[in-house]
Amino acid sequence: MPSTPYLVPYYAVDSLLQPFKHFGVNLGLTRIVKLLETLNNPHTQVPIIHVAGTNGKGSVCAYLSSILTESGYKTGRYTSPHLVDWNERICINEKPIASEELTKLIEKVKAVINLNEEQPTQFEIITAASWLYFAQEKVDIAVVEVGLGGRLDATNVCDKPLVTVITSIGRDHWQQLGSNISDIAREKAGIIKAGCPVVMGKLPEDAKRAVICRSVELESPIVVVSPAREISPGWAEYQTVEPGGHIKAIKYPLPLKGQIQLTNSALALASLGMLQRQGWEISGQAIIRGMEKTKWPGRMQWFNWKNRQLLIDGAHNPESAQVLRNYVDSIGDKNKNITWVMGMLTTKDHKDIFRELLKTKDRLYLVPVPGSDYANLDYLKALALETCPDLDFCAIYEDVFLALNAAFGFLKTKDNTNGPVVLCGSLYLIGHFFSQVNPAK
């Protein structure tokens, strides 16, 4: 498969942001509102689509920005986290911001920080830089992904989003958002604004009620989206019912992998339908071209590593782990044994992720996640064997590349009863992998 190019890491950006890393996750809008006020409120100059959700929001943002770019609009995109470079988070027309430009913007943001007040977080600084960039470049529209939660997330500063999207809701980040689905849903529904249209994916019933209640309270029209249907490998069809009962359908290519993309692409198309009703010109051909060109690295991505096919996916919570396992099972014989190379952060639901991924006779190679607070590997090994006692192999490796070499080396000696090698468990692990390899090779 073709590789996705990455920028060379730009350490000046990292060094500028490093002093703010220790403030960690500190949800709240007071700091970002003050910061943006001192920068002349650039966010008020940028029309946005605001996207929240446990899983799928990155893919939805990727579809939206690609299609809007193909429609001729100057389109900003702000997403997180990045895989290799901070630059990846801030794009215009699918192109990451230049390192020199990002450096200037961060310095401008830092220059207005009041040292006698509570300091902004790293995420708030990069978010402020994104608003500055989009306003400075006079984008027609920006697709903005929520960082964590919604109500108190630093992106939640716009009073009138063109469309609000809530893709899915699960228990990821429950430590910050609440211990049950209803609480988490209320936090994510905090991005809904009075009178602004809402597009919602299929949610658990408790979450669905919470989002609909918030929408009704704010008199925000809401559309609950059904998945598109697969019409042939790599192609889907999405249908909507127009006023008067007329059914409108569009067929489009679907380059991103997994059944979940039938839902994610439908959410993007429903959001674009909302824009069309507001007067935005988005043709069927632009949709087809934009879908075809959509890329979202590190999520169910096939990667050629040392002339071997490696499947890469973040799969950092139980819901995304289930999606990954379903995809792996769908591409071949379900009885084939899968080789997992995994690292996970301490804050994740390790047991539930293992429960979704591991099956009898699978092989598991556990690795650290460099530069991150990762789960103890001895603990993960014991938990994996408790969750799936019939693993064919479970061992700890001190480095992801040692683990990959061992995994592929073992499979080379076997017949075709084994399925793919999958690198997963953390987007930070995926980012480390990409930072160490040359994707062009």
- Which whole number is the average pLDDT over 399-428? 90
Per CATH, the number for 301-437 is 3.90.190.20
Confirm if 362 and 390 have CB atoms less than 8 A apart: no
Per-residue pLDDT, 238: 97
423-436: per-residue pLDDT in tens? 999 999 999 999 99
Does the pLDDT value for residue 174 go beyond 60?
no
User: What pLDDT sits at residue 76?
Assistant: 98
Per-residue pLDDT band for 1 (boundaries 50, 70, 90) equals: very low
pLDDT recorded at residue 415: 62
Average pLDDT score, the chain:
91
pLDDT beyond 70 at 246: yes
Confidence of residue 438 (pLDDT cuts 50, 70, 90): low
Q: Tell me the percentage of the chain whose pLDDT exceeds 70.
A: 92
pLDDT higher than 80, residue 198 = yes
Query: Contact, 397 vs 391, CB < 8 A?
Result: no
* Range 391-395 average pLDDT: 97
Nearest Cα to Cα of residue 229 among 247, 251, 245, 256? 251
Residues 113-131 pLDDT 10s: 998 888 999 999 999 999 9
Mean pLDDT of 69-74: 98
pLDDT of residue 179: 61
- Per-residue model confidence (pLDDT) at position 248: 87
CATH no., domain 10-293: 3.40.1190.10
For 256-282, what is each residue's pLDDT tens digit? 999 999 999 999 999 999 999 999 999
Residue 400 near residue 429, CB atoms below 8 Å: yes
**Is 195 a residue whose pLDDT tops 80?**
yes
The whole-number pLDDT of residue 259 equals 94
The answer to whether residue 171 scores a pLDDT higher than 70 is no
Residue 439: Cβ-neighbour burial (10 angstroms; 0-12, 13-18, 19+):
middle
164 φ/ψ angles, rounded to the nearest 5 degrees: -110, 130
Q: What's the pTM value of the predicted model, to 2 decimals?
A: 0.92
Closest CA to 338 of 405, 402, 400, 411: 411
Contact in structure between 347 and 309 (CB atoms under 8 Å): no
What is the SS3 string spanning the chain?
Answer: CCCCCCCCCCHHHHHHHHHHHHHCCCCCCHHHHHHHHHCCCHHHHCCEEEEECCCCHHHHHHHHHHHHHHCCCCEEEECCCCCCCHHHHEEECCEECCHHHHHHHHHHHHHCCCCCCCCCCHHHHHHHHHHHHHHHCCCCEEEEECCCCCCCCCCCCCCCCCEEEECCCCCCCHHHHCCCHHHHHHHHHHHCCCCCCEEECCCCHHHHHHHHHHHHHCCCCEEECCCCEEEECCEEEEEEECCCCCEEEEEEECCCCCCHHHHHHHHHHHHHHHHHHCCCCCCHHHHHHHHHHCCCCCCCEEEEECCEEEEECCCCCHHHHHHHHHHHHHCCCCCCEEEEEECCECCCCHHHHHHHHCCCCCEEEECCCCCCCECCHHHHHHHHHHHCCCCCEEEECCCHHHHHHHHHHHHHCCCCCEEEEEEECCHHHHHHHHHHCCCCC
Question: Which has the higher per-residue pLDDT, 176 or 150?
Answer: 150
Report whether pLDDT(134) > 60. yes
Please tell me the predicted confidence (pLDDT) of residue 5: 40
Mean pLDDT of 282-287: 97
Neighbours of 4 (CB within 10 A): 15
Across the strands, what pairs with 240?
248
Residue 368 has pLDDT above 80, yes or no: yes
The residue that leads in pLDDT, 3 or 31, is: 31
Domain ranges of the chain: 10-293, 301-437
Examine residue 81 and say whether the peptide bond preceding it is cis (omega within 30 degrees of 0): yes
